[in-house]
């Protein structure tokens, strides 16, 4: 008998005022909870009541109104203790490395590549235990009741989460000229003609097993006497493969990106795939069990850009924790153009850093490419996206070309979470678009900064919006809601509770 409560780090159980981040999840099977009486005197408590209505365990997965399924996952010794794994068992299992596809910028010293990832060991967990652990992530569903392929997917993800990170490890990376690129579809990316070399990272892995360092590449001669081109000699993205020494699990591609041009920074959940993060029961099934599925014809939009916009750099930036990065990469590379990646490093896993991580990663890519222009893609269900994307127009004037936000509530009535459009107040309409379906993105001239399709009606209040029945906040933040609306909201919450119980 093993005890899941071992997995509950007490440091994560910080009480937090709503609507800020709530504590990390209690890792016990989720079950829609008991109905508690709610005071619907403000939007905060409305949202609070929708969330708490989903069950006490789900409520703890909520940061700023929207569930974060993967917040507060167990790490390292918590995993080891909870599964009763002995050090000697673990020592016998091979060391694995997650090597996240990298970007590099052009500097006076040469190409400067950001190598980042995680070193870990994967304990041998029996199927029974894995099933118990997988059930933690599902609401009202037992893994045994899922179709076989979904069981396999749920076990796969669960075993990726329950890994033991390795601290104080030196990481050596071998760069090689053997990438398979298709320049005609991968935005003209080409193989670097040189640059093969072996570099040991300057630091050992952190306590959480993470590594993250910029490495300057030596201009070595390639197989046919070729060389990497400098960032001042080409507009094209050059690629090199990276192999982490001592394992065959740390293969990834590095993208050498010239100083000028367009970079698309794209979130993944609910924009490149169907997640329904705002509908926890569905969101958990979509994240843990079902195969990743594209959202409508979004792949066609990216494929078209990849064919028609030369030298565009694709960067997939999601705050999903790095433990599940492989599944995201696997899906993206089968479905969308090749590109570099950022996911949430483990040192950002505690609740207090959850909302800061996206801005941290965005700042880093903007600062690494101060002359490139960015196209930012996301959806209204991420409160950090809603805040950070417009903020970047102010922090890095002239660098944001377009902001595209999928309005998740327009196509999905299950989305009951409000979103804040105040950041868009001073932005010219041509710089952004709230869109409903992927086809709204066709026929835009993103290269020349024409980012708005005038047939797509915009309805921004420049405040918190998206609440049902016209409930909204005025500019001062006071709540404008009549007794009638409150009554309606109570009815709605009760309806939701009935559906979820
Ligand atoms: C590119 O930059 C390198 C290093 O800064 C410099 O040596 C070289 O002359 C430049 N090449 C061109 C074509 O400007
Ligand atoms: C994992 O453990 C099972 C028994 O629980 C054993 O049969 C299997 O060989 C082990 N696998 C590895 C890779 O050690
Ligand atoms: C990592 O490499 C550095 C420099 O080569 C060395 O001083 C250090 O002892 C190494 N650490 C481990 C754990 O091997
Ligand atoms: C590497 O050296 C070659 C030959 O001197 C030069 O043509 C090329 O621009 C250099 N590339 C970089 C990245 O410095
Ligand atoms: C890393 O692997 C490369 C390629 O296999 C090899 O040339 C190099 O000697 C290795 N370096 C270390 C430190 O293991
Ligand atoms: C990583 O690359 C090595 C060398 O090409 C290859 O043997 C290995 O199968 C690759 N690993 C994976 C997981 O694809
Ligand atoms: C899980 O699936 C991914 C993507 O298919 C794969 O790369 C990974 O090796 C699998 N992990 C495990 C533990 O089976
Ligand atoms: C996480 O690590 C990065 C460096 O890899 C560091 O810059 C950042 O401040 C750390 N974040 C936290 C919350 O510790
Ligand atoms: C390259 O990236 C590093 C790391 O973000 C940054 O400090 C540096 O200023 C960048 N160099 C140039 C020339 O943009
Ligand atoms: C999003 O869609 C909903 C439902 O169609 C609509 O009420 C709302 O105004 C839209 N939001 C924006 C910002 O256009
Ligand atoms: C494809 O992209 C080009 C360039 O951005 C654009 O002009 C064209 O309208 C797009 N076509 C479709 C079907 O999206
Ligand atoms: C526009 O937004 C307001 C405030 O959220 C809402 O009351 C109204 O129904 C929306 N209009 C449309 C056409 O969606």
pLDDT over threshold 70, residue 470: no
pLDDT, greater one: 53 or 317: 317
Specify the length of the chain in residues.
501
Dump strand ranges (E) for 2-153: 62-63, 66-67, 95-100, 102-107, 110-121
* % the chain with pLDDT above 70: 77
Predicted local distance difference test score (pLDDT) of residue 482:
24
pLDDT of residue 458: 97
Q: Determine if ligand 12 sits within 6 Å of the CB of residue 84.
A: no
> Mean pLDDT over all residues of the chain?
80
Q: Which ligand is nearest to the CA of 233?
A: 1
Q: Is the CB of 233 under 6 A from ligand 1?
A: yes
In ligand 7, the atom with minimum distance to the C-alpha of 159 is 13
107 C-beta closer than 6 A to ligand 11: no
Mean pLDDT, residues 212-216 taken together? 98
Measuring CA to CA, which residue among 360, 359, 354 is closest to residue 423? Answer: 359
Between the two ends of the chain, the Cα-to-Cα distance in Å is 29
Angle at 294 between CA 291 and CA 298, to 5 degrees: 170
For residues 293 and 274, is the Cβ–Cβ distance under 8 A? yes
Cα 441 to Cα 439: distance, rounded to the nearest angstrom:
5
* Contact 198 CB / ligand 5 (< 6 Å): yes
Report residue 179 as tokens.
């990438």
Q: Which of 222, 155, 235, 165 is nearest to 192 (CA)?
A: 222
Q: φ, ψ for residue 100 (rounded to 5)?
A: -85, 130
Task: Dihedral sign for Cα 473, 479, 483, 486, please.
Answer: positive
Ligand 8 proximity of 345 Cβ (cutoff 6 Å): yes
pLDDT at 350 over 80: no
Distance 52 CA to ligand 10 centre (A): 25
> Which residue would you say has higher pLDDT here, 500 or 323?
323
Assign 184 a pLDDT band (cuts: 50, 70, 90): low
- Distance from C-alpha of 359 to C-alpha of 372, rounded to nearest angstrom: 18
Share of residues in the chain with pLDDT > 90 (%): 58
Residue range 4-29: mean pLDDT, rounded: 27
> Is residue 8 over pLDDT 70?
no
Average pLDDT over residues 400-410: 96
Residue 10 or 80, more confident? 80
pLDDT at 81 over 50: yes
Are the C-beta atoms of residues 113 and 254 closer than 8 Å to each other?
yes
In whole angstroms, what separates CA 483 from the centre of its chain? Answer: 39
Kindly state if the Cβ of 353 falls inside 6 Å of ligand 8: yes
Residue 437 Cβ contacting ligand 10 at under 6 Å: no
Pairing relation of β-strands 62-63 and 197-200? unpaired
Q: Quick one: pLDDT band at residue 144, thresholds 50, 70, 90?
A: very high
Task: Select from 212, 257, 340, 368 the residue to mutate for testing ligand 9; criterion: most ligand atoms less than 8 Å from CB.
Answer: 368
Omega within 30 of 0 (cis) for the link into 32: no
Cα 366 to averaged position of ligand 4 atoms, centre (Å): 26
Q: Is the CB of 204 under 6 A from ligand 3?
A: yes
Q: Are 164 and 120 in contact (CB under 8 A)?
A: yes
Q: Whose CA is nearest to atom 13 of ligand 4?
A: 230
Q: pLDDT, tens digit, for every residue of 156-177?
A: 999 998 899 999 999 999 999 9
CA nearest to 104, candidates 306, 313, 310, 266: 313
Element counts in the chain: helices (H) and strands (E):
13, 22
Exposed e or buried b per residue across 202-213, where buried means at least 16 C-beta atoms within 10 angstroms of its C-beta = eeebbebbbbbe
Whole-angstrom distance, CA of residue 139 vs CA of residue 135: 8
The CA-based diameter of the chain, rounded to the nearest angstrom, is: 77
CB within 8 Å of 257: residues ≥ 6 apart: 103, 104, 105, 106, 231, 237, 263, 313, 369, 372
265/313 Cα distance (integer angstroms):
9
Element (H, E) at 159: helix 148-161
If one residue of 377, 444, 448 were mutated to test the ligand 11 pocket, choosing by the most ligand atoms within 8 A of its CB, it would be 444
pLDDT tens by residue, 417-444: 789 999 999 999 999 999 999 999 999 9
Res. 323 pLDDT band, cuts 50 70 90: confident
pLDDT at 47 over 60: no
Give yes or no for residue 375 having a pLDDT over 70.
Answer: yes
> Residue 185: which pLDDT band, with cuts at 50, 70 and 90?
low
Closest CA to 110 of 210, 187, 192, 174: 192
Rounded to two decimals, what is the model's pTM?
0.86
Give the pLDDT score at 133.
Answer: 85
Query: Which atom of ligand 3 lies nearest, measured to the CA of 204?
Result: 1
What pLDDT is attached to residue 64?
A: 43
Mutational test site, ligand 8, from 116, 343, 348, max ligand atoms within 8 Å of CB: 348
Distance from C-alpha of 36 to C-alpha of 365, rounded to nearest angstrom = 44
Confidence (pLDDT) at 171:
98
Assess whether pLDDT exceeds 70 at residue 181: yes
Does residue 2 or residue 298 have the better pLDDT?
298
Q: Atom 13 in ligand 2: which residue has the minimum CA distance? A: 124
**Residue of 83, 70, 88 whose CA lies nearest to 24:** 70
Judged by phi (left if over 0) then psi (alpha if -120 to 50, else beta), residue 352 lies in: alpha
* Torsion sign (Cα): 109, 110, 114, 119: negative
């Amino acid at each position: 008998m093993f005890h899941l409560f071992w997995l509950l780090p007490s440091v994560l159980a910080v009480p937090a005022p709503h609507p800020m981040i709530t504590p990390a999840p209690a890792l016990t099977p989720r079950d829609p909870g008991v109905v508690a009486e709610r005071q619907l005197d403000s939007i905060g408590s409305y949202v609070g009541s929708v969330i708490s209505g989903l069950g006490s365990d789900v409520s703890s997965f909520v940061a700023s109104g929207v569930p974060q399924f993967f917040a507060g996952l167990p790490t390292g010794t918590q995993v080891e203790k909870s599964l009763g794994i002995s050090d000697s068992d673990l020592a016998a299992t091979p060391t694995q490395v997650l090597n996240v596809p990298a970007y590099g910028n052009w500097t006076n010293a040469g190409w400067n590549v950001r190598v980042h990832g995680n070193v870990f060991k994967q304990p041998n967990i029996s199927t029974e235990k894995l099933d118990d652990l997988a059930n933690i992530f599902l609401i009202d569903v037992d893994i045994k009741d899922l179709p076989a392929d979904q069981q396999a997917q749920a076990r796969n993800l669960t075993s990726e989460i329950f890994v033991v990170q390795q601290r104080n490890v030196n990481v050596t990376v071998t760069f090689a000229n053997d990438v398979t690129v298709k320049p005609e579809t991968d935005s003209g990316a080409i193989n670097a003609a040189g640059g093969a070399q072996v570099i040991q990272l300057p630091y050992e892995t952190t306590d959480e097993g993470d590594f993250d360092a910029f490495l300057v590449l030596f201009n070595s001669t390639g197989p046919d006497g070729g060389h990497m081109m400098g960032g001042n000699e080409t507009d094209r993205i050059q690629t090199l493969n990276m192999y982490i020494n001592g394992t065959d699990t740390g293969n990834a591609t590095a993208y050498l990106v010239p100083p000028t041009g367009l970079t698309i920074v794209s979130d993944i959940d609910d924009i490149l795939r169907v997640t329904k993060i705002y509908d926890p029961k569905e969101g958990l099934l979509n994240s843990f069990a079902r195969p990743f599925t594209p959202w409508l014809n979004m792949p066609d939009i990216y494929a078209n850009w990849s064919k028609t916009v030369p030298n565009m750099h694709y960067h997939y930036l999601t705050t999903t924790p790095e433990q599940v990065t492989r599944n995201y990469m696997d899906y993206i590379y089968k479905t969308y153009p090749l590109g570099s990646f950022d996911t949430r490093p483990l040192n950002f896993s505690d609740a207090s850093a959850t909302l800061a991580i996206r801005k941290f990663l965005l700042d880093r890519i903007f600062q690494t490419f101060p002359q490139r222009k960015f196209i930012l893609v996301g959806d209204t269900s991420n409160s950090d996206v809603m805040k950070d994307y417009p903020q970047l127009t102010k922090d890095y004037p002239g660098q944001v070309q377009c902001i595209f936000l999928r309005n998740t509530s327009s196509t999905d009535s299950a989305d009951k979470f409000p979103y804040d459009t105040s950041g868009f107040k001073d932005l010219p309409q041509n710089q952004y678009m709230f869109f409903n379906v992927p086809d709204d993105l066709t026929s835009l001239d993103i290269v020349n900064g024409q980012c708005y399709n005038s047939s797509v009606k915009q309805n921004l209040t420049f405040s918190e919006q998206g609440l049902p029945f016209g409930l909204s906040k005025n500019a001062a933040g006071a709540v404008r809601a009549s007794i009638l609306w409150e009554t309606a909201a109570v009815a709605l919450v009760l309806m939701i509770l009935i559906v979820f119980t």
